[in-house]
A and B are shown apart, each in its own frame.
Chain A
């Protein structure tokens, strides 16, 4: 039998097999760790922030293939964005960039959004002077 058949599309498989930005940012400026209520999995994103921009983002994930691919893609997408931009980041962007996820796996991409926002909130908490400047939208309810 060949390996032509895969559970997810090629982009998702690629990000699962060769995840980008896996690991922890050294001396991170913000760290977010969240759990998925649906299946009990865990994702952690750490950020390096310089001059109001995300300079580096890394992830660690305990979860399914979609969760690993989502965190890989999310960290790719947010690098270079300003904090305000990142605060508006949505899981849909991850889903689109991955070329779609099965319906039952959408929540795994939500986990990536939540981990990113938790990391940003962690950063803002450490820098209260920024809170007023950042036009922060309400966290998206899921």
Chain B
């Protein structure tokens, strides 16, 4: 069976060059970077190089602005809580976009329980932030604005330069989560006007276990981890040296190969979406059309009348690895908050699948996926009472209304006695 990995947003394989660069730092150069002897100094030097490589990827002025954490989630926790705590006396208000990653949303919720307030700025149906609303949300008490570069679910590229301009006018630091974009789209901290930026090498062929937080002088920040003065006192704890070294190499290669990677994935993205929409009826792309508003790696699809976990499982049994934002997939039984924020109908959110491309995918892979996914949809629709009811005119399609029958959501509410969330 063919195996096609279409979940590059969750992680990517480590490149051979990256792995080679990491190897000496397990058994040979095992020193702790905080040590003052040869062993420590050698790894400190290697980390400095990695900082420079990370800085180059995002066009930062100096490697001193690069901090290492354990992953993207820790980076956003540090960015949000670190800035909030450092500026408590100035104000206790934050502004975030409604579709930020859970690590941002839940850090904010944590702070709200301690007396901070937060404004969540709405997005349009394609996931683009409402800039007027953003402008109006910023008050003299606002200590941080957080807007991601690219959405992790639906691939929307936010107008981050304009966001940066608004923040500069209001003199509020901006945190840009670049987890879904770094390595796949140019990230320029200066052009963005960002005070903080985070990204993770494992999203672009580096190892897991290291996250990067860029921070410049526009943002005061305190450590949320205590017990040492590593990372300039901003993040206590021994650094994951092999991962940092490997991540640096991954960043360097990503920067060099970026134009090729973008072109390759953009071609496949178009081929995949064209193939799927030709092959399958009642399928919808969530987020902008492939092009300048959407990252080239992501397709977020809703296939009507069937649920996402079943699609994911059958894909897996066909050798295709994908993700889903359906409520059945989440432990909390809630649909992805991003799909909620773009106002997607519950029935479509339930049928959600996320496919994310990488440099190793081929055109043949894509053609295989188009064919296999078509069969999966037919199989699941054959089992679905909704498909049957649609064909009999009891319920209508959301994607392509025929004017017959009631809405799926109405039907679901009628029989469960509760409105679907």
Residues of B within 8 A of A6 (CB): 316
Q: Given that A34-B415, A35-B412, A35-B415 are contacting pairs, would A65 and B309 also be in contact in the complex, using a CB cutoff of 8 Å?
A: yes
Segment 49-73 of A: residues with Cβ below 8 Å from B: 60-65, 67-68
Select the stretch in A37-45, A82-90, A91-99, A123-131 that faces chain B. Answer: A37-45
- B335-365 toward A: CB 8 Å interface, digit per residue (1/0)? 0000000000010001000000000000000
- A63→B383 CA distance, assembly (Å): 10
Assess whether B417 is in contact with A37, with CB atoms less than 8 Å apart. yes
The one of A22, A61, A62, A65 in contact with B313, judged by C-beta atoms closer than 8 angstroms, is A65
Assess whether B382 is in contact with A40, with CB atoms less than 8 Å apart. no
Q: Given that A33-B415, A62-B307 are contacting pairs, would A40 and B421 also be in contact in the complex, using a CB cutoff of 8 Å?
A: yes
Assess whether B383 is in contact with A19, with CB atoms less than 8 Å apart. yes
Assess whether A64 is in contact with B385, with CB atoms less than 8 Å apart. no
- A17→B418 CA distance, assembly (Å): 30
Q: Given that A34-B415, A68-B310 are contacting pairs, would A40 and B331 also be in contact in the complex, using a CB cutoff of 8 Å?
A: no
Q: Given that A1-B3, A42-B385 are contacting pairs, would A62 and B416 also be in contact in the complex, using a CB cutoff of 8 Å?
A: no
Assess whether A39 is in contact with B385, with CB atoms less than 8 Å apart. no
Which residue on A lies nearest to B420, using beta carbons?
Answer: A40
- A1-32 toward B: CB 8 Å interface, digit per residue (1/0)? 10100110000000011010010100000000
Which residue on B lies nearest to A108, using beta carbons?
Answer: B328
Please report the total number of B residues contacting A with Cβ < 8 Å: 35
Interface: A142 (CB within 8 A):
no
Q: Which of the four size classes fits the interface of chain A? A: 20 to 34
Assess whether A42 is in contact with B386, with CB atoms less than 8 Å apart. yes
- A38→B3 CA distance, assembly (Å): 34
Segment 316-341 of B: residues with Cβ below 8 Å from A: 316-317, 319, 326-329, 331, 333
The one of B328, B329, B346, B418 in contact with A37, judged by C-beta atoms closer than 8 angstroms, is B418
Interface: B384 (CB within 8 A):
yes
Interface: A104 (CB within 8 A):
yes
Interface: A77 (CB within 8 A):
no
Residues of A within 8 A of B412 (CB): 35, 40, 42
Most buried by B among A1, A33, A40: A40
Interface: B175 (CB within 8 A):
no
Assess whether A22 is in contact with B382, with CB atoms less than 8 Å apart. yes
Assess whether B307 is in contact with A41, with CB atoms less than 8 Å apart. yes
Assess whether A61 is in contact with B385, with CB atoms less than 8 Å apart. yes
Assess whether A63 is in contact with B310, with CB atoms less than 8 Å apart. yes
Assess whether A62 is in contact with B386, with CB atoms less than 8 Å apart. yes
Interface: B22 (CB within 8 A):
no
The one of A36, A37, A38, A60 in contact with B383, judged by C-beta atoms closer than 8 angstroms, is A60
Interface: B274 (CB within 8 A):
no
- A41→B383 CA distance, assembly (Å): 13
Q: Could you show 5 A-B contacts with beta carbons less than 8 Å apart?
A: A1-B3, A17-B314, A33-B415, A63-B310, A104-B331
Known: A6-B316, A64-B328, A65-B310. 20 other contacts (CB 8 A): A3-B316, A3-B317, A19-B383, A24-B388, A34-B415, A35-B415, A35-B416, A35-B418, A37-B418, A38-B333, A39-B327, A39-B333, A40-B327, A40-B412, A40-B421, A41-B328, A41-B350, A42-B385, A62-B307, A62-B385
Among all A-B residue pairs, the 8 with the closest Cβ atoms: A35-B416, A64-B328, A64-B309, A60-B385, A40-B420, A44-B385, A39-B327, A35-B415
